Amino acid sequence: MKKLLTLFISIVLGYSTFAQQQNGTVSGEVTTREGSAAPYVTVGVKGSADGTLTNDKGHFRLTRLKPGTYTISVSAVNLTPQEQQVTVTAGKNTELNFVLDINTSQLQEVIVNSHSNRIKMDNPSQSLRLQEPLIEIPQNIQVVSTQALKEQQIISLSDGLIRNVSGAVRLEHWGDLYTNINMRGSQIQAFRNGFNVVSSFWGPLTEDMSFVDHIEFVKGPSGFMLSNGDPSGLYNVVTKKPTGETKGEVSFTTGSFNLYRATADLDGKLSKNGKLLYRLNLAAQKKKSFRANEFNDRYSVAPVLSYQVDDKTKITAEYIYQRANTSDVGSYYVFSPKGYAALPRNFSPLPPDLPTTKINDHSFTLNMQNQLSSNWKLTTQAAYYNYHQDGTSMWADTVAPDSRYIRNAGIWEAKSTMKLGQIFVNGKVTTGFITHKILAGVDAANKKYAADYAQTFALDTEDQMFDPQNPNNGTPSNGYPVYDRSQDLNTRAAAGFGIIDSKYSSLYIQDELGFLDNKLRLTLAGRYTYVKQASFGSEDEAKHFTPRVGVSYSINEQTSVYGLYDQAFVPQSGKLRTGTVKPLTGSNIEFGIKKDWADGKWNTTVSVYSITKNNELTSDPTAGPNEGLSIVFGKKRAKGIEFDLRGELLPGLDLTANYALTDSRIIEVAPGVTESTGMKKGDIVPAYAKHVANAWLTYKLRNGVLKNSGIAGGFTYYGDRHTNDTFIEGQQKLPTYFKLDGGLFWDNGKIRVAGNVFNILDKYLYSGSYYTYLSSYYYQAEAPRNFRLSVNYRF
């Protein structure tokens, strides 16, 4: 693979060099009226599709221009375009500079809205708090853009999104309710607009893509965002905000399994002076399944208002409501003692009249940004999340050797509330020959989750068990459940150990020191966190300091190398015979190289890492069944290599491609653990795939009879998959996974028509594990070959 990649890059670079010898280039600098660099604004050739963005220093370069006279324009949101004429000579570069009539505060809005139609994004969102381009950050951060979501017809966060990021998998999932992404050996944290929105293992409700602008994946611990989370990383969903442009878009999508979906995105001004802006996103969907009795209906409403108080202060208020009405999520699971894929792909154990699952998900966020000066900015934001779910979750009580089993329907009523707050400041200071980029802030949260999942009901009787070989799709032999709701949810949740409460507050300080005209950057940072939590009947609190040290060096404007050491910690609940429970701690050592190619049109990232987790608890093998005692398990380590490529390789040709090699193993166990669990030093830690490779390519014709039409396609590959259970000799292993998707589109800038076919090869795809308690395999099948057709209209 390395040889093929080297050959591919050599061909592309050779083509680029030849083209530049025959043509000419135009380069220059764009600044604001204050003399500051204007990064990430559009520089284009009038009357042509050729164009680029300025880099973080305001520099731009237009290549492959044939000799002649051109009009070069610079444009951005709410900014009158500036134009200059220039004469291009073959084999030579012409310099051209622009000064924008815009100040530093207004420029921030320009940066936010400059990525709407690109696969490659160069800058993190403001909610990620970092004030530098991605190529300079000493960490692997991958961003999935709006354009990528649209091209791949992704309609929710759990719908094919992870193919865009190296090493991300969902080996076990909860349909379209919860995303639960695994990366670098364990489940990563879920964020939205910079807030950690995890209140339990199962949440939050997966976001509908109608109100999502882009998603940022941060690999490894991220002390600048959070320390009390898993050290494998996080993803940050960035929602759509007003741009200041008056525009809109409506779309309609239909497809297999009676999919009907409509969305609207309205963006504009509510005041003539442009200070009061709005954005409104609406979506409604009806969708059935390739399995009987399953459906997923939902809608969302997401209004946003922003008000520019003055040149320095802006306030943004955002409300998001999601409503989901779905069939029982447990119906996706198939149980069989005979192995994986033992039954037809469309097999379903779901009876027709089992109560549906209804979810109401509300969130409200208030954000204020204050540009204290040209070098200092203060951000304050608060959020309130309220989530209620009422439904059931199917499982199996017993599985007989002849494959018959008793279906169980457990109540799953849950409520979650979260109160979240942040205040942080970004600043720049120069001391002698050293520049300082300062980040300092305070985070606080109060999260409460209460769930009644203790009430269960057997749908089948022992003398009339459910027979998958001859399924009864009518009323179950034991009827349908009637749950006891005479007590309030909190009382029922407390009795069934269904309370998960968490409070935390933390202080973070970071200084990035820039040397040699900021070519060499040293990050020194630390976070102090206090956490108090109660879960599954026990309480715990912890105080912990986590340091962060990073080094990044720019070999040139297009290439940087970096190294990082960062820590995370997770409080644990449990009781020991002697001593006190310590937090689970984790550390990450990472090295990488980032490179922009072809004047920043596409980039690559290669990283290697090693993550160690310490002090993890497991059940005490010497304790009685009712003692509830734990012991310290030991250590686990995940190591790996990651490669990501994204951007425009050639005019009209975009590619997203990635590969990850992950190896996660137990490196230390406490005495007695092996005897009780079977796990020992050197064993593989389950819930990941050792080899993950993805690609998605689009090509749009820019000339000719078929101008504006194009082709798209991609694949997903999982090799050496490991399940959610430790592998036991004689068990079946999950086979290699390969999925091929592709389609055609036509896009003239106002209308886009796209049709994609998923699982083109019609493979029987699934994920699953072996459940020792039931002496049975369980798995979830994916859809057979299916299609989607969408029409978008922009106005």
Whole-number pLDDT of residue 574: 64
* Chain centroid offset of residue 103 CA: 33
Q: In one letter, which amino acid is 109?
A: E
Whole-number pLDDT of residue 419: 97
Q: Beta-carbon neighbour count of residue 49 at 10 Å? A: 11
Nearest to 290 by CA among 332, 343, 341: 332
Going from the C-alpha of 313 to that of each of 18, 288, 310, the distances in angstroms are 49, 47, 5
Helix (H/G/I), strand (E/B), else coil: 60: strand
Q: DSSP states of 403-435 as a string?
A: S-EEEEEEEEEEEEEEEEEEEEEEEEEEETTEE
pLDDT interval class at 498 (50, 70, 90): confident
Q: Beta-carbon neighbour count of residue 129 at 10 Å? A: 20
Strands 259-269, 276-286: pairing is: antiparallel
Query: Which stretch, 85-89, 304-308, 536-540, has highest mean pLDDT?
Result: 304-308
Find the range with the poorest average confidence among 60-74, 212-226, 668-682, 709-723. 668-682
pLDDT interval class at 81 (50, 70, 90): confident
The pair of structure tokens assigned to 24 is 């000419």
Q: Find tokens 């290549």 and name the residue.
A: 63
The pair of structure tokens assigned to 245 is 């442009």
Whole-number pLDDT of residue 604: 98
CA pseudo-torsion sign 320, 311, 113, 251: positive
pLDDT at 762 over 50: yes
Whole-number pLDDT of residue 539: 75
Whole-number pLDDT of residue 115: 45
Contacts of 771 (CB under 8 A, 6+ apart): 335, 725, 777, 778
Find the range with the poorest average confidence among 63-67, 107-111, 241-245, 488-492. 107-111
Q: What angle do CA 226, 156, 122 make, to 5 degrees?
A: 55
* Chain centroid offset of residue 461 CA: 43
Whole-number pLDDT of residue 8: 46
Helix (H/G/I), strand (E/B), else coil: 48: coil
Q: DSSP states of 90-117 as a string?
A: TT-EEE--EEES--HHHHHHHHHTS-TT
pLDDT at 19 over 50: no
Contacts of 729 (CB under 8 A, 6+ apart): none
Please name every residue paired with 93 in a beta bridge, in sequence order, or none if there are none: 25
Whole-number pLDDT of residue 172: 62
Higher pLDDT, 154 or 21: 154
The C-alpha atoms of residue 472 and residue 465 are separated, in whole angstroms, by: 10
Length of the chain as a residue count: 795
pLDDT interval class at 87 (50, 70, 90): very high
Considering just the CA atoms, what is the radius of gyration of the chain in Å?
27
pLDDT at 190 over 90: yes
pLDDT at 632 over 90: no
The pair of structure tokens assigned to 37 is 């660099």
The C-alpha atoms of residue 209 and residue 261 are separated, in whole angstroms, by: 12
Whole-number pLDDT of residue 569: 87
pLDDT at 322 over 60: yes
Task: Name the average pLDDT for the chain.
Answer: 88
- 109-166 per-position pLDDT tens digit: 555 444 445 799 888 999 999 988 899 999 999 999 999 999 999 998 888 899 999 9
Whole-number pLDDT of residue 737: 96
The C-alpha atoms of residue 439 and residue 225 are separated, in whole angstroms, by: 11
Helices (runs of H) and strands (runs of E) counted in the chain: 5, 41
- 333-366 per-position pLDDT tens digit: 999 999 999 999 999 999 999 989 999 999 999 9
Average pLDDT over residues 524-549: 87
The pair of structure tokens assigned to 119 is 């696969």
The C-alpha atoms of residue 70 and residue 559 are separated, in whole angstroms, by: 30
Higher pLDDT, 504 or 496: 504
Whole-number pLDDT of residue 429: 94
Show the beta-strand stretches assigned E in 220-356: 233-239, 247-255, 259-269, 276-286, 296-308, 313-326, 333-336
pLDDT at 53 over 80: no
Higher pLDDT, 523 or 578: 523
pLDDT at 720 over 60: yes
Query: Which stretch, 501-515, 573-587, 613-627, has highest mean pLDDT?
Result: 501-515
* Chain centroid offset of residue 553 CA: 27
Whole-number pLDDT of residue 583: 79
The DSSP symbol for 284 reads: E
pLDDT interval class at 416 (50, 70, 90): very high
The C-alpha atoms of residue 437 and residue 337 are separated, in whole angstroms, by: 59
Going from the C-alpha of 619 to that of each of 13, 666, 672, the distances in angstroms are 57, 16, 10
Whole-number pLDDT of residue 116: 44
Average pLDDT over residues 648-652: 91
pLDDT interval class at 202 (50, 70, 90): confident
